[in-house]
Structure 1
Amino acid sequence: MSERTAGTPIQILEAARGCLLAEGYAKLSTRKVADAAGVPLSQIHYHFGGKQGLVLALLDHENTRLVDRQQRMYAADAPLWKRYEQACDFLEDDIASGYVRVLQEMIAAGWSDTKVAQQVLALLQSWQAVLEAAVSSTEARLGPLTAEDAAALVGMSFLGGEALILLGDESWARRVRTALRSLVKLIRHIEES
């Protein structure tokens, strides 16, 4: 495979990310993506099969990178509250990069497309596994909550918070960010008591 051919899927994914962020999933077309990537439309169908395959590949590409980042961060030798605080900082990066928008668009698409729903749920499970591993170190001090339950509560809080932030109302966004960061105090209290 030539260097140019090897880079084509990444070039298409980057163009798809830009188009998705600009117009959302409903208005996304493979033709617009091909134009933005500077490739023939046939390349999208060759590499991804169509719009759905393209967007799912984009989500998988971004998700893999970010889950790896989270695993490295939670594996650090630091108190859990400090690692959770870093996760809150990462949320800002993920919103700015467009990942959160792509994920939320795919969640919405999954409401009417079971194939999309299955892939999105599989990707979300990778985040759940990272959170469970992180929480398991403090499970004995979480009272009646298992690591699985605590991780699910945190994960769902982030997902819901991200959706509210994307709605664009600054007062809601502030409330979400404040609420998510308030868990730092709770985790620190649990760890230090």
Structure 2
Amino acid sequence: MTERTADTPVQILEAARGCLLAEGYAKLSTRKVADAAGVPLSQIHYHFGGKQGLVLALLDRENSHLIGRQQRMYAIDAPLWKRYEQACDFLDDDIASGYVRVLQEMIAAGWSDTQVAQQILGLLQSWQTVLEDVAGSTRARLGPLTAEDAAALIGMSFLGGEALILLGDETWARRVRAALRSLVTLIRHIEEADRA
């Protein structure tokens, strides 16, 4: 396999990312991606099977990178409230990178395609697992909530908040960010009460 052939899937994924950010999933075409990547259209079908496989591969790649980032961040020795605050800071990075938009587009595609839905649910489970591990390892009491429930509530809050932010209304975006950050105070209160 030549170096050019080995780099082709990466070129295609980068071109797909740019096209998705510019036009969204509904307007994405494999022809446009092939043109942007400078490869024949057949290469997209060879490497990814088509539009859906291409977008899912892109999302999987981005998701793996971000999950690794979250795991490293939550592994540092710092109070949980500080680490959660960092997670809130990452939200803007993830929106700017296009990851959130692609994820939300594929969630919508999954409403009518069970194969896509299953793949997206697998990606979302990886986030849930990170949050469950963090909630389960905290020394702070979570009141009546299990680690799984706390993780689900936080994960779903981010997911729903991201959808609202993508609608483009700045008032809603401020509300979402403020609500997510309000948990910093709650987590800090719980941690400090447990230490006292």
Match of 2:47 in 1: 47
CA distance in 2, matches of 1:65, 1:6: 20
Report runs of 4+ in structure 1 exceeding 6 Å deviation: none
| Deviation of the 1:23 alpha carbon | 1.2
Aligned to 1:86: 86
Contact 1:107 1:117 in 2 (8 A): yes
Unpaired segments ≥5 residues, structure 2:
none
State how far apart, in whole Å, the 2-side matches of 1:116 and 1:17 are.
18
How far apart, in 2, do the equivalents of 1:65 and 1:122 lie? 15
Uncovered stretches (5+) of structure 1, i.e. residues with no partner: none
TM-score (norm 2): 0.96
Distance 2:108 2:115 in 1: 12
Question: 1:59 aligns to what?
Answer: 59
Q: In the alignment, what sits opposite 1:20?
A: 20
What's 2:190 paired with? 190
Other-structure match for 2:95: 95
1:86-141 per-position Cα deviation (integer Å, ceiling 9, x unaligned): 00011111000000000000000000111100000000000000000111123660
The count of corresponding residues between Structure 1 and Structure 2 is 193
Q: Distance in 1 between the 2:55 and 2:47 partners?
A: 12
SS, match of residue 78 in structure 1: coil
Structure 1 CA distance, aligned partners of 2:168 and 2:140? Answer: 39
The alignment yields a C-alpha RMSD, in angstroms, of: 0.9
Amino-acid identity (%): 88
TM-score, normalised on structure 1? 0.98
- The Cα shift of 1:48 comes to 0.2
Q: How far apart are the structure 2 equivalents of 1:64 and 1:42?
A: 27
Q: Give the alignment of 1:40-189 within 5 angstroms.
A: 40-138=40-138, 141-189=141-189
Moved more, 35-44 or 139-148: 139-148
